Chains A and B, each alone.
Chain A
Amino acid sequence: MTKPLVAIRSVAKNFGEFQALKSVSLDVWPGEVMCLIGASGSGKTTLLRCINQLAVIDSGGIWLDGELLGVREQNGKLHRLSEREIGRQRLKTGMVFQRFNLFPHKTALENIIEGPLQVQGRKADDVRAEALELLRRVGLSAKAESYPAQLSGGQQQRVAIARALAMKPMLMLFDEPTSALDPELVGEVLAVMKELAKSGMTMMVVTHELGFAREVADRVVYMDQGAIVEQGRASDVLGAPREERTKAFLSAVI
């Protein structure tokens, strides 16, 4: 019996008065591609940020690869982990941001090798060779020495995906990776993500690209007002939704 790679149990997160997540529970299985859909403010991005601990959950628990994230249980109490330990846990996830967040003062290649070199302390020659291979994989071999400002949005996002992959994560998190792109650049980023899905990477993708979800996702999760409303196979959730709220959302989007 395999175990879920990510186990989310009764997770709640508030921003002041606003309840971003209300007792969310979910499993993500190894090799699974999960798309999270829903209106803005539905909590899907917050859920992703909680998994790589850019946001700290208020209650509940998240286990990644069997390890409880952010806290340690001792004598019936939870103790926060040190920044160092949280950093180590983050290495298991790769994050791709809506606005790319490449380091503007570093070239594409330098962006990719920064983590493996500085954080993981790996050998420069190996890291460089792997980074060049990653750039080839996202179709940007010619842009290794370019600075982010010299790249299009689509190219920047592909570098950002390579940067996340360079850490050899077991889980890739995508936070609306195509929402900030011009329409004609969306395809190239989705193509890289499809290729990644095909290679067996476990992925959680917050997206508005329902076509991508239909084609690639093993499971689609529809969230609304901080809770999971409906989930299942992409063809079911997108093709024959059971819940009224899902139907309303889909008819508004399509």
Chain B
Amino acid sequence: MKPAPALAEGFPDLSGLRIARGPHWFRWLGAALIVLVLAAIARAFANGQIEWSYVSRFLTAKVILEGIVNTMVMAVLAMALGIFLGIVVAIMRLSPNPVLKTVAAGYTWLFRGTPLILQLLLWFNLALVFPTIGIPGLWSARAVDVMTPFLAALLGLGINQGAYTSEVMRAGMLSVDVGQYEAAQAIGMGRLRALRRIILPQAMRVVIPPLGNEFIGMVKATSLASVIQYPEVLHNAENIYYANSRVIELLIVAGLWYLLVVSILTPLQMLLERRFARGTLGPAR
């Protein structure tokens, strides 16, 4: 029998020693290669046939600024419509009512199954199908007057987005534990109140990263509305280069604006995520 408290010899005390940092040769090599490639690309563009003065001149031109404002207005409104439709359709999809379920599934099938640009063109050309639209006996108008590029873009982008967002929302609601529904029911809540007060706030935490993704997609998808004459930034850039033939310069202008907007959105998303992470941040508070 060994005496219990004594420790065996041959295992030195390592406390107080630091872990040495490795030389990381391949990291340095990789970084150097990337710098070289970037320099080559920059040189190519600098010597290429691009008039950078046009880029800086048109970057803050009034028409371009109006275009980016229109882009953002459309992205925000269409996304709001998309999220609203997405929540409604997701709730319908998870309802026990077979009629609601089928309608929701049909909606998703239809608007996910056809190209967005085709849907935009259909909305814009609605007047070809229905010359006048309205509610019989109450109100009617010529479709060409009602279906402006703005409205056509909003409906096309928003309704299409709703089909995708409904799936994101459904995934979020399914991620909430069944016990949460039961606890909500046990304190007398109906289905809709439980969804609004208990399930959706918890689903939001899961749903925000993919929704942020979708919103970034939406900012860029608004550029498709240029085909139906909605004056967003790409459409306005095109109008300028039709006049002055500085195609690449104006495309770079539009590209820089998209990059800037998307760069601003990322930290905003992090703020939102923190807001909905209430109660999950652990003991330190």
CA distance A105 to B200 in the complex (A): 11
Query: A149-B280, A149-B282 given as contacts; is B182 within 8 A of A119 (CB)?
Result: no
Query: A104-B280, A118-B197 given as contacts; is B183 within 8 A of A88 (CB)?
Result: no
CA distance A84 to B201 in the complex (A): 23
How does the 8 Å CB contact mask read for B198-221 relative to A, with 1 for contact and 0 for none?
100110010000000000000000
Interface presence of B248 (CB below 8 A): no
Q: Is the CB of B202 within 8 A of A102?
A: no
Count, A-B residue pairs, CB within 8 A: 83
* List of B residues within 8 angstroms of A94 by Cβ: 186
Which residues between 99 and 154 of chain A lie within 8 Å of chain B, taking CB atoms? 99, 101-107, 114-115, 118-120, 147-150
CA distance A84 to B188 in the complex (A): 9
Partner pick for B198 among A84, A93, A103, A147, CB 8 A cutoff: A103
* List of B residues within 8 angstroms of A99 by Cβ: 179
Partner pick for B279 among A84, A88, A104, CB 8 A cutoff: A104
Which residue of chain A has the shortest Cβ distance to B179 in the bound complex?
A101
The winner among B177, B179, B276 for most chain A CB atoms within 10 A is B179
Q: Is the CB of A114 within 8 A of B197?
A: yes
Interface presence of B30 (CB below 8 A): no
Query: Separation in Å of the B272 CB from the closest CB of chain A?
Result: 14
Partner pick for A83 among B190, B197, B201, CB 8 A cutoff: B190
Query: A101-B183, A103-B198, A114-B197 given as contacts; is B188 within 8 A of A87 (CB)?
Result: yes
Interface presence of B193 (CB below 8 A): yes
Interface presence of B185 (CB below 8 A): yes
CA distance A178 to B118 in the complex (A): 59
Query: Separation in Å of the B268 CB from the closest CB of chain A?
Result: 21
User: Could you give 20 example pairs across A and B, Cβ below 8 Å?
Assistant: A83-B190, A83-B191, A87-B188, A88-B188, A90-B185, A93-B186, A94-B186, A95-B186, A97-B186, A99-B179, A102-B183, A103-B184, A115-B187, A115-B189, A118-B189, A147-B280, A149-B279, A149-B281, A149-B282, A150-B283
